[in-house]
Chains A and B, each alone.
Chain A
Amino acid sequence: MGIISRGFSGRHGATDLKLPPGQHLTTDFPVLSAGPTPHVSLDRWEFRIDDGTDVLRRWDWKSFRELPTENITIDLHCVTRWSKLGTSWEGVSLDTMLADVKTDASYALVRSYGDYTTNLPLNDLMNKQAWIAFQFDGKDLAPEHGGPARFLVPHLYLWKSAKWVRGITLMHHDRPGFWESLGYHNCGDPWREQRYSGDE
């Protein structure tokens, strides 16, 4: 236990038991982005999977929306310590998008409109762990929350769920993304409280 803060009692709640360490509940949906919100029109939207040299798969909005979709209900955990439970989304599983991709790569760098990037082990994007979502709460995803389409990787802190996604580069060697280069943890598991570089 840390230093006792004289006179502090705080808010205790039974629901806190479901939260990763150091998180608190919110019912709002705060926004955290490093720069302006990109506004991406659907007719120029595309999503590519490449290996750093060649484009392996490519979708425009129409072909992306023809992929089978899933409705998912997930908890969000932001590194700025808010958590939002039971959020409802519709999106395409990364299992679907990676199904025909033959690769021996182990890592992925997710790229966004606005030049945001984030890195993950490829394993974290497979086996029902990651989606590209285009609806939130039954409505088209608003630009400030990542619309037209964003990643959802709910088992990691929310900065790994890149907004405004436009592609994935598959890599043999890990390469830090935007926040991972600026003092945040490379992995970002909220249950292990991997917030900042230097956390175990």
Chain B
Amino acid sequence: MWRVGTVVALHDETATARTITLKVSDWTGHLAGQHVDVRLTASDGYSAVRSYSIASAPNSETRIELTVERLRDGEVSPYLTQELAVGDRLELRGPIGGWFVWRTQQTEPIQLVAGGSGIVPLMAMIRSRVSACSAASFRLLYSVREPGAVLYRDELEALSDHDHSVSVTYAYTRVAPKDWPRPPGRIDAALIANTTWPSNLAPTCYVCGPTSFVETATGLLSASGNSSDKIRTERFGPTGDRQ
């Protein structure tokens, strides 16, 4: 039931987020959007478990990537982002979750809305679209505190500039780059109207982020005409659940 993953690579995405690549020899595959439970065990037997979204696309390999954002006062995320070393072994369960997933058979337009590290499961969907050569049209609205907090920036830029497979809109909440057209602030109705799929195209919307962000984003998507059965959400709270 608990699988063992060996850390084969570590990559710092930002000052506080790290991607962990694990080789899991008995991995049976996953869907984009699913998560795993990770268990740490102290030498006295005490253990702590948290859920982390899978960042990598489903593939035939037995490797998965998790991107973990370090939480102040976190119990597990500081260990995973600061202590963990290549060669260490981690216990994990999963993949888990069958609702907040994008399947490669889906052909409808896809609207992704990320708040902060809520980008992680959405990135798995984008990568899954690329690796499956899907023709589904993706848009991503990515709300993030400041430019330095953007995860996967180079990869997202390559995808939107060269491949046009996903169009990306950044919305900065605290600090925007110089000459950015929109002042820093939370997402609003105008941004939703100007950058997301028109609701008459009946996109499936995936919204992931902190609870207050998800409440705001889903409210705006509903108000702009998206039906609630086309909006799927994944929320995480300050306790560090579901990063």
Contact = CB atoms under 8 A, between A and B. Distances in A.
Interface in A136-160: 144
Contacts of B97: 182-183
B50 interface: yes
Contacts of A68: none
Contacts, number: 121
Majority secondary structure, B binding face: mixed
Contacts of A10: 40, 42, 46-48, 75
A24 B47 CA distance: 10
B27 interface: no
Given A37-B215, A183-B97, A196-B96, A28 B232 contact: no
B41 to A, nearest CB: 4
Interface of A is mostly: loop
A35 B47 contact: no
29 contacts: A1-B45, A2-B2, A2-B41, A2-B47, A4-B41, A4-B42, A5-B42, A5-B90, A6-B85, A6-B88, A7-B83, A9-B43, A9-B46, A10-B46, A22-B49, A26-B237, A26-B239, A28-B237, A30-B235, A30-B237, A31-B211, A31-B235, A32-B242, A34-B100, A80-B242, A81-B51, A144-B211, A182-B99, A196-B96
Interface of A: 1-12, 22, 24, 26, 28-38, 78, 80-82, 114-115, 144, 178-179, 181-183, 196, 198-199
Q: Closest 7 interchain pairs by CB?
A: A30-B237, A182-B98, A36-B218, A5-B40, A80-B241, A26-B239, A2-B41
